[in-house]
Amino acid sequence: MLWSVFRWSGLIIPFVFCFQVAAQSATGNNPYGITFTITETPFYIFNPLERQVSLRMAYASAQIANPEAWNNLKKDKKVYEIELVYTKYPKDFNKWLTDYDWLLENRLKELFSIDPQLKDPSIQWKIVLQTKCEDADIAKEMYHGFVLKYKPMKPWVAKVRDGYGKQMEYVHQIIEGDTMPADSVVLHALNRKTDWHKMLVIMDWTGSMYEYSAQLVLWHKENIEKDLIKHIVIFNDGDDNKFKGQKRSKSIGTTGGIYSMDVYNLNNIYSMLERAMRAGNGGDAPENNLEAILKGLRFYSYCEEIVLIADNRAPPRDMALLRKIKRPVHVILCGANPEPPDINYINLACFTGGSIITNDHELRFPETFKEGYTFDFMGESYITKGFGAIKTRNP
């Protein structure tokens, strides 16, 4: 058993490493009388699937960079655990250059200035030390800050107890992390694509896609401080074609049922999702994907990455609009496992120079479309021709 020390507030706080595990309660005479449990990990990864909020800080800084992440969410939430994440650099505590007495005290002071309720003595506190940092440059790039883990103080209840209210309850449970569908393709895709920034997300908001598109809102909520998603546009394929009480045809390019929302206001997101849900849920298989993409690009052309969350079981009804899309489109394809990918979504990604992503597969296309380009995807071989691709044979 090897004993080491953790120096804060002028005291030596012992903690124990036993068989490479550090999980010993540490009690220090810090200004707030907080008892910490200390653990070590090679590096810390924030998990957006859990009910928790990241309050980030720079290396050796006490300033919280994104206080709004908690201020916008804390209503009716109960924090039960707080992690304070450091880098253990240098690994020899005797060589530490930063005044960690000052740093701990001021980080706590900064946190409590945001929300004094976090002084609640029932909250459990942990210090997480990251060890996979051999020099200062690596340490500065690693995660630093507080992670607030919370539970809802009261369950969310739909305003109207009808079919749509129950569906919105399910959507809300996903967004809050209380339940998770078996197929988490949207979360998996977004967590993998760390190079996507300033995203415009177009998502199918018809009945079969509620559980998938809710994952997008969950991911956005947990990563809102990174400002990765700039705009969300949803479409329901025509608002059930309601026009002055009469049914109207779903004309290419004018089907409608397209909504955009303020992505920095969670209440606004909920309101728009429920509004679009009540207006229509599709009604038939094909959807107006490309119309929604074009409308999003018309208003939010400055966005860098165009992402479509699409239903593999509901192909676009408006592929005739394909030539009007001049930007790469990245298609996150839901329901494509084990079913093969719909050729229309492959053509959309292929012609625009984007990509197509499923739970287990990903293919990025050349930015410039050329005929005769061959590729394999999910057990099939394709060759480009005209404005898309056609199957050739099994590879």
Q: Are 259 and 145 in contact (CB under 8 A)?
A: no
pLDDT over 60 (residue 296): yes
pLDDT (tens digit, 9 = 90+) per residue, 219-229? 998 888 788 99
Mention every residue, 6+ apart, whose C-beta is less than 8 A from residue 194. none
Query: Element (H or E) spanning 188, and its range?
Result: helix 185-192
The token pair at 3 is: 């004993």
Does residue 289 contact residue 316 with C-beta atoms inside 8 Å?
Answer: yes
Determine which of 159-168, 292-301, 311-320 has the lowest per-residue pLDDT on average.
Answer: 159-168
For 347, the enclosing helix (H) or strand (E) is helix 343-352
| Nearest of 205, 232, 184, 209 to residue 48 by alpha carbon | 184
pLDDT digits (tens, 9 = 90+) for 158-202: 555 566 778 888 898 888 888 888 889 999 999 999 999 999 999
- The sheet carrying 21-22 orders its strands as 2-8, 11-18, 21-22
pLDDT, mean of residues 246-262 = 80
Residue with the larger pLDDT of the pair 24 and 67: 67
- 99-115 pLDDT, tens digit each: 667 888 899 999 999 99
pLDDT at 234 over 50: yes
List the single range of 22-31, 263-272, 386-395 with lowest mean pLDDT: 22-31
Query: Taking 80 as the threshold, does the pLDDT of residue 249 lie above it?
Result: no
Q: What share of the chain is helix, strand, coil (3-state, %, to 5)?
A: 30, 30, 40
Q: What local confidence, expressed as pLDDT, does residue 337 receive?
A: 76
CA 268, 273, 274, 280 torsion-angle sign: positive
Q: Does residue 383 surpass a pLDDT of 50?
A: yes
Compute the mean pLDDT over every residue in the chain, rounded to the nearest whole number.
Answer: 83
Helix axes 185-192, 210-222, angle to 10 degrees: 40
Q: Which residue has the higher pLDDT, 305 or 237?
A: 305
Percent of the chain with pLDDT over 70: 83
pTM here? Answer: 0.62
Q: Retrieve residue 322's tokens.
A: 């394909």
**Nearest 5 degrees, angle CA 326-CA 328-CA 329?**
110
**Residue 241 pLDDT greater than 70, yes or no:** no
**Higher pLDDT among residues 290 and 173, named by residue:** 290
Cβ contacts of 113 within 8 Å, gap of 6 or more: none
pLDDT of residue 237: 85
| pLDDT tier, 58 (very low <50, low <70, confident <90, very high otherwise) | very high
Percent of the chain scored above 90 by pLDDT? 49
Bond preceding residue 338 cis, omega within 30 of 0: yes
Quick count: other Cβ atoms within 10 Å of Cβ 354? Answer: 23
Query: Given strand 388-391, what is the order of strands in its sheet?
Result: 374-377, 380-385, 388-391
Calculate the alpha carbon distances from 126 to 40, 80, 145, 279, 355 in Å.
10, 11, 12, 47, 41
